[in-house]
Amino acid sequence: MGGGLGRTPIVGVSLRDDLPEEDLLAYMEAILRVYNAHGRRDNIYKARIKILVQALGTDEFRRQVEEEFVAMDRARYRIEPALVAAIKARFGAPDFAPEGNAAAVLAEDRRRDIAFDAWVRTNTHEHKAPGYISVVISLKPAGGIPGDATAEQLDLLADLADEFSFGELRVTHLQNVVLGHVRQDQLHTVWQRLSQAGLGTPNVNFITDIVACPGLDYCALANARSIPIAQKLSSRFADLELQREIGDLRINISGCINACGHHHAAHLGILGVDKRGQEAFQITLGGSGEEDASIGQILGPAMAEDETVDAVSRLIDLYLVRRENGERFLDTYRRVGTAAFKDVVYAPA
């Protein structure tokens, strides 16, 4: 409970790890009852569960939730097994075909086509069904607008979903698109059609797989534009060999403190601010939205757009010099500490 980004970024706390599934709905209501009793209604900026958890403290918040929970008639919140089964039936797996020689065909396609093999390494995931694979379609071409697609590209994605993925595609919070169920022996055809439409960029989880909010170009709340700096960073690091050398690195950009780009949870976050009437950008380092969740730490004063792009380049150079044993950027930052990274950005030349 109590996690969130925005003006006050906080990593959530664990209340319980032993809650029976049948009690989940009741426990959630117990949490809401405590918030309803104590939540701030006098200040819209503090009307958040995360603020209440911090004010009461985790132990006291947990105590009040447990007190509310044990007093409830929990039987009222338990869903009958027949209803659960009916809901599950609506989300059944597709009618997967037998595996056949699909894996062998994919292996041969990868052996014959180096570019295809590179894309498979970065843009696909294993599938639980034999003979199938999950495809992540990057909407982040070099110098492009993160998450942008043309009408023609969207039509193609719909066609590919119908032909190769049981009519299903998913738009992710990382501004990419997933075809969840592709036959391995059809993957090369899918890649060829994506590549012809400019959708074959092999950069998922690399430095150019940037997440950015619309920023000042489209949002009245923003202090700065997010899209142009994302495009400049994407162009600066467009070389695929360099991206592979850098490895797993998440850059997120928000145009204001509301943090719609989730910059707090990025390995390298960028926040647009208003600095005496001019657009400027603040860098945070060390964030993560994964199992090792952490909030990025502000590196120093905000800078102009081009200065920020140059600063990111220096940060990457330092990482490549200081990393050990194939560390991710995040791992090196956590080991080395903030001071060394701050020095390469702000120390006098």
DSSP 37-65: HH---S-GGG-SHHHHHHHH-HHHHHHHH
Residue 20 pLDDT: 92
What pTM, to 2 d.p., does this model score?
A: 0.92
Pairwise CA distance, residues 43 & 55, whole Å: 14
| Phi, psi dihedral angles at 151 (to 5 degrees) | -60, -40
Q: Which segments of the chain does DSSP mark as H helices, in order?
A: 24-38, 49-56, 58-71, 81-89, 102-112, 114-123, 151-164, 187-196, 227-236, 240-246, 305-322, 329-336, 338-346
Query: Nearest-CA neighbor of 116 among 202, 48, 25, 209?
Result: 202
Residue 326 pLDDT: 87
Provide the β-strand partners of residue 136.
178
**Given the DSSP bridges, would you call strands 177-183 and 211-212 parallel, antiparallel or unpaired?**
unpaired
Residue spans per domain, the chain: 21-89, 102-196, 211-346
- Which overall architecture, per CATH, does domain 102-196 show? Alpha-Beta Complex (3.90)
Q: Is 24 helix (H, G, I), strand (E, B) or coil?
A: helix
May I ask the CATH class of domain 211-346? alpha beta
Q: What is the pLDDT along the chain (349 residues), one digit of tens a residue?
A: 999 999 889 999 999 999 999 999 999 999 999 999 999 999 988 999 999 999 999 999 999 999 999 999 999 999 888 998 999 999 888 999 999 999 999 999 999 999 999 999 999 999 999 999 999 999 999 999 999 999 999 999 999 999 999 999 999 999 999 999 999 999 999 999 999 999 999 999 999 999 999 999 999 999 999 999 999 999 999 999 999 999 999 999 999 999 999 999 999 999 999 999 999 999 999 999 999 999 999 999 999 999 999 999 999 999 999 999 989 999 999 999 999 999 999 987 6
Residue 349 pLDDT: 63
65: number of Cβ within 10 Å:
21
Equal CATH topology for 102-196 and 211-346: no
